[in-house]
Each structure stands twice: as structure tokens, then as C-alpha cells.
A and B are shown apart, each in its own frame.
Chain A
Amino acid sequence: MRRYLAGRLLQAVGVVLMVTTLTFVLVHLAPGDPVSAALNGPGVTETVRQHWRESYGLDRPLGEQYVRWISNAARGELGFSFSHRRPVRDVLADALPRTMLLAGLSFALSFLVGIVVGVLQAERPGGTRDRWLGRVLLLLYSVPDFWLALVALLAFSYWLPLLPAGGIVDPVMHDYLSTGGRIADRLKHLVLPVVTLTLLSAASIARYQRSALLDVLPSDWMRTALAKGLSFRAAVRQHAVRNALLPTITLAGLWLPSLAAGTVFIEKVFSWPGMGLVTVNAIGARDYPLVTAGVLAISVLVVLGALLADLAVALVDPRVRLS
């Protein structure tokens, strides 16, 4: 067990290193650099721009920049963001929790909803409820996420002005509200993005859960339960669900990594300043330190999630452990 763990850990580090290196190289190869983009007024001489490049170390050969970045990153020094004019650490420290909040909430909600709907479907496979739920889920599964977000924003912020049109909190009033008011403000801003994300993910999860349940229906212990006199529905709820939760838990583990980067479109439409938006903008601004640190953070999360997922499966399912 320990060797397995050590091996996977080593692989994980290797993967993260590879991903970050690739990103580093890609972004540096793209034409343009942060200095020329920021200082392109006609009065700005090349001397000034060159000077800024020197002070940021951008004129050094790529290899040297890379080594310096890696050694700094290992110590936790992630550099200075050109586009935000703040330490990268601070930018990420602001953006990451926002994405986590959004993604985490919708993650929890969509698994809840997804599992429940999957169970509801599997109680009578092929029945009317199953078929109709299936169609609705398939519809949600087939819709482009940015489109759904656009439509939601239109509907509930514009045509029916019930909810705020983006952002995390009211830019002015938030601090002057009471504690209760502040919580309400945050919740109001969370509703649309979370609901949109949840709908989209829940569809996938429900389909998955239904399929997992159908897999276990023919099992021996199900037949035993039915033979003992339980109604099909009760058998499903009391026995099948517990057994069929395992694959969904595995899925949860695999889903974890996507939390960090899967919200780009939602963040864009709802002006949610999270990791996805920050990284995408940083690529456009050639903000090298921010891009590489952002991708580093995301890939660490991805790999961690995968590791946890594998571990969970190995712990719970003896068949996998031995293979």
C-alpha cells in the first residue's frame, strides 16, 4: 500500500512538472510580451520598455527564466503579476476561493440532485417517469453551457430584474449592510451562476448514477432482497443505492479536478472573478508569472483529485487493489 502511494505521488509530481513546463514554454513562445502590451504609447521609447523588461528579468534566456521560476515556485515565491500589478500569490489567493465557492457549491448540489434523480429513474426502469426524466436530462446535457448562462442572465437579470447582473457582491453597498444583509447580498449573487452550473452537471451525474444503479440491479443480493419480500422500490432505495454509490463517489473524485477550471464560461458570462477568468485573461495579457502559476495551481488540484479518487477506489474495492 505504501509503495503504491509513493509511486502514485511520484507520478503526480512528474505530471505537474510536465504540465507547468509545457505552459511556460507555450506562453513565452507566443508573440508579444507584457511590457510591450502595457507600454505601447507613442511617447514610450524602446529604452524604457527594455528597462522594464530588464527589471522583470524578461530579457534573460528562456532557460534561465525557467530555472529561476521553478526554484522560486518551490519556495512558494510565485512572482509578480504584470497585469494585476500585485504579487501572483495574492491574485490567486483572491481568485481561487471564489471559484471554489462557485464550483464547490454547485458540485455538492449537483451530486445531491443527480443522485436523487438517478435513483428516481432507476426505481422503475423504462417507466414513464424514467423516460421523461431521461429526456429532460439529455436536453440539459446537450445544451452549450455559455448559451444556457446567457439565456439565464437575460431572463432573470434583464427581462425580469430579480437578480443582480453579475459580480460577487454589490460594489458599493455591501460593506454598509448588516451581517444579515451581507449574507443575503452574497447569496443573491450566487444564485444564477450556481443554478446554471448545477443544472448542467446534475444532468451528467444523474445519467451516470442511473446507469450505475442499472448495473447492480441483476446482482444476487438484489434478487435475495426481492425474494425476501421487499418491493422493488424499497429494494432499490435500501440496498442498490448503497452499492451503486461507489462509482459515483469515484466520479466525484474525478470531478474534483475539473472544479478549478471548468467554470470559465460561467465566470465570463456572470463576471465572476475566479480562476478560469483570471487565467484566460492572463494568457491574453502575456502575464507569464500569473499564467504559469495559475496552470500550476489547477494541475496540482487535478492531480490531487485524481490521486484521491484512485486511493478511494483502492481502499474500498479490494478487486482493484490487487490488480
Chain B
Amino acid sequence: MTRHLPALHFAMNQPTLSARARLSWAPLVLAALIAAGCKGSEPNATASGETGGTIVVAMPGDVNTLLPGLVASIGDRELTDLLYDRLAEIGPDLNTLGDKGFTPRLADSWNWAPDSMSITFHINPKAKWHDGQPVRASDVRFSLNLVKDPAFGSPVAVYVGNIDSVSVRDSVTAVAWFKQHTPEEFYDLVYQVVVVPEHILGNTPAAQLKTADVGRRGIGSGRFRLVRWEPGQRLEIVADTANYRGRPKLDRIVFAPSPDFSSAVTRFFAGDADLFDQLRPENIAKMAGDTVRRAVRYPNLQYATFAFNLVDPKQPTRPHPIFGERAVRRALTMAIDRHAMLRNAFDTLGVPLYGPFPGSIAVADTTLPQIPYDTVAARALLDSAGWVAGLDGIRVKNGRRLSFGLMSPSSSASRHQYAVLLQAALRKVGADVRLEETDFASFVAKQNTHAFDTEISLFATDPSVSGFKQTWSTAGISKDGSNFTAYSNPMVDALLDSATATFDPARTRAYARRAFETIIEDAPAVWLYQPPTVMGIARRIRTTNMRADEYWAGMDEWWIPADQRIARDKIGLRPLP
């Protein structure tokens, strides 16, 4: 699973992380076990499996925070998912409407009020924090208030807008009140508001929790607890033997940060790490006869586009002098051989993209009409739009050359590769592309302020349709949204609104499909690829069903057969010397 790593530079994809996307990365232990059909994993542990073992995960970059409410990157999400339990966990089919498929965690049962404006949760009395204190309903109330508190500055604050409050009936009963009955209200509360301990965090003013030491202790309710965190070096979590759901099979998981991709890969192939989740095609080719490691493919919810800026970067109220015209955008799209580029960049692992959505979500439709690859038609279209080839081969119109910048973050190797490929392809139809590779901070700043000509952007979505409004509706053009292309079509706005308002999944799909069709026709971007995600993992590790979007869901049920253990598996649970 690619990670969103703003702080450290890394040659890998850096998707814009939709907060709702994090829904799909919640660990899903019980459901994964129950839904036994082993999709693409090793022969499963049908026996209960012995306890013990240590896994080292080679992590690109480092963890920034262990406070769930402050999580903004995928790496942080993985850690907090392992250390903290939610009220309930999402089902394997990733349903977000109502509470279908959700399995109990901290809340062992819940009741809907008849008008669905409130839900009563009963907290499992055996649930405890890692320091021994019981989990109480007041913790739930505290957690919601924290996320809503502007002084805390939680990145997910906007998603809990519909939750009015949580009231405490007694120490094990919490009632959540909503302002409106929406299809995803249960999901909003249960997923976005991870329960944190009031008795530990409540004594510090919310504004200081970002920097206070108490926020780094990671005291949660999950099946793993934090042993130590040496930033830049390693982060170690061990099995919580007193957990209310029982201890996990593994003894310990160590996260070893690496400053860049090559060192992480080297670590993995040298045997210093057991797991690395960002293998590339060339690494996989090498693993053909490897007896110690294997490669496991896992789907993801990301997509990358070559996006045009539809407004003038110097004057965002005016259309872009080149890309304001639909014909030009369509012509440039026709000049790009997406399938050849896919083969070049990802070999046989490439997954083509058919629109502004990843193939594995419910509303995806890979049969939508596409703009074809046709350089002859592209040139003809450019000619008829008034862009005529000059002496050096570059087209000119009204004294302006068809010359523009292509922005990509220097931390992403795939995007860099595509940038160079696109530059050559567009040159063939008479466009002069200047590559502008910037570091991630500049990239993000320029994206948000529409200060670019074209860019390669990578999005991470979630199963729900509401995330698309952020990226493709007029409302998303502001700094609060992610509509970097400034694409605006009232019909699409209306369609997406309808898609999110209905409670019927079939109608959601129909509306979404029509919206996507329109977007594809308007060609605000070229649909490049879905990043292939392949994990390298040591063969001795027996995994559970790897969920569609998070490989670490179910990590607490992974195990290592006794006869295959190596030195570090035998450390056991003894405390540090």
C-alpha cells in the first residue's frame, strides 16, 4: 500500500490521501478469518497456529504521530490501526451505508433509535487500555470532542460535521446524536472517531497535544502495544497479552524506517526485513526462484492522471490560454499511447485506468467510452484549433507557442518516468513540454494554488462516492478541496450530488457512471494508470486473507510455524535487557 509521506523524500507514489479513504484501511481481523476464501495468500492457518515470532517491516519514511486524530499519512494510519481499536470494524466488502457488515470491537453491541437520529453503543466491559484502565463511554465522548475541537486541529474534523455529540448514560453506555440522517452516519462516527483514552490525554490542553510528549506514548486498546519508538531508527510493538480479544499470534512487529526506496529494498533482499510493500516490477522479476521470499499482489484504491490546469495560473479567474479549450485537451489526450507507457513503466503489472476512479470500487465502470490513441487525428484536431506547426516543429497560435510545464514531485519515481515519456510523446505532435520536478512541499503548494500548467497527480480514493466531489465538482476548486484542475461542469456537480444523496446503491452507481462519462468526454486529464502494489514478504510468514485495501488488516492473526523460525522469531516476549 503506498504511503503518503510528505516529510521524507522517497522515490514512490505519494497519493493525495482522502480522509474517507482511510476507512478502507481499518484492520479487519475477525471478518477476514471468518470469510475464509484465501484470495491470493498462502495456505491459510486453519489450525489456530502457535504464538510467537517477530516481523520486521521495512518502512519508507518514518511515523509522524501515534495520535489517531492527527493522522495524515498512510504510515501513521497503519500504526494507529494496530495500536487502537475502534467501536466497530468495517466488513470485508467495505460497505459504508448503514451498519451492514460491521463487526463489534470496543462496542459489543449497538441499537439504532427508531428515527435513526441516534445510536446507542454498549461498550464491552472487558475492554481495557494498555495501561490497565477500562475503556469507558466517557472516552468515546472525549474522543469525539477532541476531533471536533478546532484547537486540536484534526485533519478529519470536516467529516464529523454531521455528528452532534455523544452523551454518556453510564460507564459502558454511550449515545451518539446526529444532526441529520445520512446514509453513512454510522461509518462517519465509528471510522473517523477512533477512541482514545481520556484519562491520559485529557489533562493536556488540546492545542498542545500536537507537540506534547503524552501524545507519543501510543496507549491504545488494540492487540498490540507500543514498546519503544526511536525516531528514524525503529518502532517496536509487542503483543498485548491482556487484551480483551486475546493476544495476537505474533510476539512483536518492528518497523524499520529507511531514508529511501533503494535502501528499503536492499534491506528486504538482504534479509534484514521480512516485509516491504512497495516492490517494483524489476524487483519481482528477481524473485522468481527465491526460496526465502515471495511476492504478493494487492489491489489498491489509487489512480494517477496527467492533469491539465483549466485556469490561467497567473490569473485564476481566466481560462488557461492553452488548456481552456476542450479540443486542445482532447487532441493532446489522443497523442498519448497509454498502454505502451503502462508496459514501459510497470511491465506486466500495469493496471490501465478507464476514468477518474480505481477499478476496484463499487461504482467503477471499465466499459465507459474512451478517447482513442490516434496521433493523426490529434494533429488534425490541433490544426483545426488553430495551432499550426512552426519551423522547429512546435505549434504556434496567435504568436503563442504550444509550450508548457509538466509538474511532478521529485520523490516519485513512477511519475518521473511518466513525465519523461509524456514529454517525448507530446513532442511528436508538436508540443514542447518542460519538465518541472519539484520537491513535495512545493508540489503541494503549487497544486493547491493552481500554479502550474500540467501535472501528474496521484489520488487515493475510498469506497464512498462522496470523495469524488472533492476532486471533480466546482465546490472542490477552493483550497479546501482537491480539484486542482479547476474543472467545473454544473451537470457533473448535479450528478455527483444526486449520487451521494440517495440511499440506493444501484442509483448511486447509475448517477456516478453518468458523471464519469461526462468527465471523460471533457478531458480535463488523461487517465494514466493505477499504481500496482506488490508486497514482498518472507515465505515463513503465514498471512491471513489480505483485504482489498489494507494488507495489515489481519496482521494480528499472522503466524510463523515453529519449524521455520529464525533468530529474531525466538526472542520471545521477554522485556528489554
Direct A–B touching, Cβ under 8 Å:
yes
A positions within 8 Å CB-CB of B:
30-34, 36-48, 51-52, 55, 80, 82-86, 91, 94-95, 153, 157-158, 161, 164-173, 175-176, 268, 270-271, 273, 277-278, 281, 283-287
Q: For B267, what are the chain A residues with a Cβ–Cβ distance below 8 Å?
A: 165-167
**A85 and B568 in contact (CB under 8 A), knowing A42-B467, A48-B153?**
no
Q: Quick one: which of B139-179 are within 8 Å of A by CB?
A: 150-151, 153-159
A83 to B440 Cα, complex, angstroms: 13
> Is B8 positioned at the interface, with any CB of A under 8 Å from its CB?
yes
Q: Which of B155, B234, B273, B442 is packed against the most chain A CB atoms within 10 Å?
A: B155
> Is B247 positioned at the interface, with any CB of A under 8 Å from its CB?
no
Tell me the minimal C-beta distance from A54 to chain B in angstroms. 9
Q: Which of B95-103, B128-136, B477-485, B519-527 interfaces with chain A?
A: B477-485
A51 to B210 Cα, complex, angstroms: 12
> Could you pull out 18 A-B pairs where Cβ atoms are within 8 angstroms?
A37-B440, A37-B445, A41-B17, A41-B155, A43-B19, A47-B480, A48-B150, A48-B154, A48-B157, A51-B151, A80-B211, A85-B64, A153-B266, A157-B270, A167-B272, A171-B273, A271-B263, A273-B232
**A48 and B254 in contact (CB under 8 A), knowing A37-B7, A42-B482, A43-B18?**
no
**A52 and B576 in contact (CB under 8 A), knowing A36-B444, A40-B448?**
no
Nearest neighbor of A280 in chain B, beta-carbon distance: B9
B272 in contact with A33 (CB, 8 Å): no
Nearest neighbor of A281 in chain B, beta-carbon distance: B8
Tell me the minimal C-beta distance from B257 to chain A in angstroms. 9
> Is B474 positioned at the interface, with any CB of A under 8 Å from its CB?
no
A37 in contact with B56 (CB, 8 Å): no
Interface string of B262-294 (1 = CB under 8 A from A): 010011011011000000000000000000000
Q: For A39, what are the chain B residues with a Cβ–Cβ distance below 8 Å?
A: 72, 155
Nearest neighbor of B71 in chain A, beta-carbon distance: A41
A52 in contact with B153 (CB, 8 Å): yes
A8 to B56 Cα, complex, angstroms: 52
Given pairs A166-B266, A168-B233, A281-B8, 15 additional interface contacts (CB within 8 A): A31-B438, A31-B445, A32-B441, A38-B6, A41-B4, A44-B158, A46-B480, A48-B158, A80-B211, A169-B233, A171-B272, A171-B273, A173-B568, A175-B576, A273-B259
A166 in contact with B9 (CB, 8 Å): no
Q: Quick one: which of B181-207 are within 8 Å of A by CB?
A: 207
- Nearest first, the 7 closest Cβ-Cβ pairs linking A and B are A43-B19, A32-B441, A32-B445, A83-B7, A42-B482, A171-B256, A165-B266
Tell me the minimal C-beta distance from A71 to chain B in angstroms. 19
B7 in contact with A32 (CB, 8 Å): no
**A41 and B571 in contact (CB under 8 A), knowing A85-B65, A170-B272, A281-B8?**
no
Q: For A270, what are the chain B residues with a Cβ–Cβ distance below 8 Å?
A: 263
A287 in contact with B7 (CB, 8 Å): yes
Tell me the minimal C-beta distance from A249 to chain B in angstroms. 35
Q: Quick one: which of B72-107 are within 8 Å of A by CB?
A: 72-73
Interface extent on B, as a size class?
A: 35 or more
Tell me the minimal C-beta distance from A44 to chain B in angstroms. 4
Tell me the minimal C-beta distance from B199 to chain A in angstroms. 23
> Is B430 positioned at the interface, with any CB of A under 8 Å from its CB?
no
> Is B222 positioned at the interface, with any CB of A under 8 Å from its CB?
no
Tell me the minimal C-beta distance from A278 to chain B in angstroms. 8
A268 in contact with B272 (CB, 8 Å): no
A164 in contact with B270 (CB, 8 Å): yes
- Pick from B7, B158, B272: contact of A164, CB under 8 Å: B272
Q: For B17, what are the chain A residues with a Cβ–Cβ distance below 8 Å?
A: 40-42
Q: For B403, what are the chain A residues with a Cβ–Cβ distance below 8 Å?
A: none
Interface string of B1-35 (1 = CB under 8 A from A): 00010111100000011111000000000000000
**A44 and B56 in contact (CB under 8 A), knowing A165-B270, A281-B7?**
no
Interface string of B211-253 (1 = CB under 8 A from A): 1000010000000000000011110000000000000000000
Q: For A46, what are the chain B residues with a Cβ–Cβ distance below 8 Å?
A: 478-480
Q: For B20, what are the chain A residues with a Cβ–Cβ distance below 8 Å?
A: 43
A52 to B56 Cα, complex, angstroms: 34
Q: For A164, what are the chain B residues with a Cβ–Cβ distance below 8 Å?
A: 270, 272
B567 in contact with A173 (CB, 8 Å): yes
**A175 and B441 in contact (CB under 8 A), knowing A44-B158, A165-B266, A277-B259?**
no
**A268 and B153 in contact (CB under 8 A), knowing A42-B471, A86-B231?**
no
- Pick from A37, A48, A278: contact of B441, CB under 8 Å: A37
Nearest neighbor of B259 in chain A, beta-carbon distance: A271
> Is B446 positioned at the interface, with any CB of A under 8 Å from its CB?
yes
A170 to B258 Cα, complex, angstroms: 12
Q: For B54, what are the chain A residues with a Cβ–Cβ distance below 8 Å?
A: 172
Q: For A161, what are the chain B residues with a Cβ–Cβ distance below 8 Å?
A: 270
Tell me the minimal C-beta distance from A93 to chain B in angstroms. 12
**A176 and B266 in contact (CB under 8 A), knowing A31-B445, A51-B150, A52-B153?**
no
Nearest neighbor of A176 in chain B, beta-carbon distance: B571
Tell me the minimal C-beta distance from A101 to chain B in angstroms. 14
Nearest neighbor of B481 in chain A, beta-carbon distance: A42
A281 to B61 Cα, complex, angstroms: 11
A165 in contact with B263 (CB, 8 Å): yes
B18 in contact with A51 (CB, 8 Å): no
A173 to B258 Cα, complex, angstroms: 17
B6 in contact with A55 (CB, 8 Å): no
> Is B260 positioned at the interface, with any CB of A under 8 Å from its CB?
yes
B480 in contact with A285 (CB, 8 Å): no
- Pick from A44, A157, A281: contact of B155, CB under 8 Å: A44
Q: For A91, what are the chain B residues with a Cβ–Cβ distance below 8 Å?
A: 231
Nearest neighbor of B274 in chain A, beta-carbon distance: A172
Q: For B116, what are the chain A residues with a Cβ–Cβ distance below 8 Å?
A: none
Q: Quick one: which of B544-577 are within 8 Å of A by CB?
A: 567-568, 571, 576-577
Interface string of B414-450 (1 = CB under 8 A from A): 0000000000000000000000001111111111100
Tell me the minimal C-beta distance from B561 to chain A in angstroms. 19
A286 to B568 Cα, complex, angstroms: 38
Q: Which of A34, A42, A176 is packed against the most chain B CB atoms within 10 Å?
A: A42
B158 in contact with A43 (CB, 8 Å): yes
Q: For A277, what are the chain B residues with a Cβ–Cβ distance below 8 Å?
A: 259
B270 in contact with A41 (CB, 8 Å): no
Tell me the minimal C-beta distance from A40 to chain B in angstroms. 5
